A and B are shown apart, each in its own frame.
Chain A
Amino acid sequence: MLPVSYYIALSAILFSIGALGVLIRRNAIIIFMSVELMLNAANLAFVAFARSYESLSGQVFVFFIMTVAAAEVAVGLALIVAIFRSKHNIDVDQMSSLKG
């Protein structure tokens, strides 16, 4: 097996790309996809460490992260649909008023 640091480095690069996406994109759906990318990078680090410690706990935690990601996407996309219905836009810069 390759050293675990290779996988952690790849995970760090993917996480940073996701963080960059949250910072530079204004489309709310793309921002959600970037969050998914960051969660996925964390999963990769979990599985790499599970392999190197021969412990299945890391892989079980990936399941929990997948569940949280699914719940987050369901609620988040419902929010985006609701915002789109009232504002006809999903640009996060436009969502600056609390009155809707």
Chain B
Amino acid sequence: MTTDLILFLFLAIISVAAALGMLFSRNAVYSALYLIVNFVTVALFYLILGGAFIAVSQVAVYAGAIMVLFLFVIMLLGAEELGQSQTLSWQRPLAIVLGVGLVAEILSVVLTQTGVIASASSLPEGFGSPASIGNTLFLQYLLPFEVTSVLLLVAMIGAIVLTQRNKKDA
């Protein structure tokens, strides 16, 4: 148990520090790299929680595909240092107060709820393996899976249309 706790705290500190680094770094490229660190630590949490396949897809989809897209756009626009102006001076302190309030609220609820959810100590054979995920996905959630394919198609068409029309106008 203590080894689990030390590992959890170690990864949690890295992940929160990376998230804060993403939030406060001046350069957008550094923000993207901090976010990749955060995604990788969350993937390690998935591994600890028995989701081996989901951890791999987290690294491939989030840390791979999505963040590469972000970096491409940042470098394409040269947008590393853009958007630093602050027109509403009261917005930042108010946001920090509200954010701290949100954390305190959720933590007070979560940490005082003890004994409601009993965690199983051992997992069934093959929990989180590709075969078991595929079984659940294609037997129990087939319709949402098909809807997802339509969503991806719409997003693809939308991205093409949004960037192409602008080219024609110019």
Contact = CB atoms under 8 A, between A and B. Distances in A.
Interface of A: 1-10, 12-21, 23-30, 32-34, 36-37, 40, 43-44, 47-54, 56-57, 59-60, 62-64, 66-75, 77-82, 84-86, 89-93
Interface string B65-95: 1100110011011010011111110011001
Given A20-B23, A33-B22, A71 B154 contact: yes
Nearest to A32: B70
Given A26-B84, A30-B31, 19 more contacts: A1-B119, A17-B19, A19-B102, A24-B91, A24-B92, A27-B79, A34-B22, A36-B66, A44-B42, A49-B117, A59-B133, A59-B136, A66-B62, A74-B159, A75-B155, A75-B159, A89-B82, A91-B83, A93-B87
Nearest to B138: A60
Interface string B95-113: 1101100110011001101
A5 B70 CA distance: 32
A97 B132 CA distance: 50
A96 B91 CA distance: 17
A70 B45 contact: no
A63 B137 contact: yes
A34 B23 contact: yes
B70 A33 contact: yes
Interface in B120-170: 120-121, 123-124, 127-128, 132-133, 136-137, 140-141, 144, 148, 151-152, 154-156, 158-159, 162-163, 166, 170
A69 B57 CA distance: 13
A40 B39 contact: yes
Contacts of B152: 67, 70-71
Interface residues of B, number: 87
A90 to B, nearest CB: 6
A48 B170 CA distance: 49
Contact of A14 (B16, B132, B155): B16
Given A29-B74, A33-B32, A64-B148, A56 B83 contact: no
A50 B51 contact: yes
A58 to B, nearest CB: 9
A16 B41 CA distance: 17
B117 A16 contact: no
Nearest to A1: B119
Given A6-B8, A74-B156, A91-B85, A47 B65 contact: no
Contact of B103 (A8, A13, A89, A91): A13
